[in-house]
A and B are shown apart, each in its own frame.
Chain A
Amino acid sequence: DAKTTQPTSMDCAEGRAANLPCNHSTISGNEYVYWYRQIHSQGPQYIIHGLKNNETNEMASLIITEDRKSSTLILPHATLRDTAVYYCIVSSYRGSTLGRLYFGRGTQLTVWP
């Protein structure tokens, strides 16, 4: 599976947009980009995923570059509860044993008042 590169940590003011970058320069054509987050001592929470088009849901937006070598997760109005470790993962397929997720170290996002 392709590896991803994320900054170790980021800060964001409450109410502002949080933009979390991810590089995945070796992504294959059939690999999706997934974003999860983990609040301390809990299981990861699914946020969003995409293949090549930008995606938006009630939690966040995912912007994937045209060459698919990088993406950005956008939390439009960060709150204190968004403080968590955010993981960007690429995976080949979901709903089968091919859809394994290999977690890296992620980005620790801290939202401050």
Chain B
Amino acid sequence: GAVVSQHPSRVICKSGTSVKIECRSLDFQATTMFWYRQFPKQSLMLMATSNEGSKATYEQGVEKDKFLINHASLTLSTLTVTSAHPEDSSFYICSASSMDQPQHFGDGTRLSIL
């Protein structure tokens, strides 16, 4: 199946730090990328949807100034958690899709804010 790479896999940082997570579609051009968040023992929650070259569309309740999404190319999207606090600690997962591919997911980034 299609491969989506996410980096880093784990981040531990101090409160107030901004953290950038990269999501790459390795073997297909992703017209759309998605970002999810998953808290322990809960299901995935969609945060935002982005098309290449366009502004991201955020789900209700997700702060766009807190979670900056850039989708500058058909193979790369980034999520930046700005001024992260302990409550932002979570498992962040990206996915990528195209007209020919259903959503394929990365392996996630475990973010821990101290």
Contacts and interface: CB of A to CB of B under 8 A. Distances in A.
Interface stretch (A10-18, A19-27, A68-76, A100-108): A100-108
A99 B97 CA distance: 9
A77 to B, nearest CB: 20
Contacts of A106: 43
Interface string B87-100: 00001010101111
B56 to A, nearest CB: 10
Contacts of A30: none
A43 B107 contact: yes
Contacts of A49: 102
B44 A94 contact: no
Interface residues of B, number: 30
B104 to A, nearest CB: 6
A95 B98 contact: yes
A112 interface: no
Interface of A: 34, 36, 38, 41-46, 49, 87, 94-97, 99-106
Interface of B: 1, 4, 6, 31-32, 34, 36, 43-46, 49, 51, 57, 91, 93, 95, 97-108, 110
24 contacts: A36-B105, A38-B44, A41-B108, A42-B107, A43-B4, A43-B105, A43-B107, A44-B44, A44-B95, A45-B105, A46-B1, A46-B104, A49-B102, A94-B103, A95-B100, A96-B51, A96-B99, A97-B32, A97-B51, A99-B103, A100-B49, A101-B103, A105-B43, A106-B43
Top 3 nearest A-B pairs (CB, nearest first) are: A43-B105, A95-B99, A103-B44
Given A43-B6, A43-B93, 20 more contacts: A34-B102, A41-B108, A42-B107, A43-B4, A44-B44, A45-B1, A45-B105, A46-B1, A46-B105, A87-B43, A94-B102, A95-B31, A95-B32, A95-B99, A95-B101, A96-B51, A96-B99, A97-B51, A103-B43, A103-B46
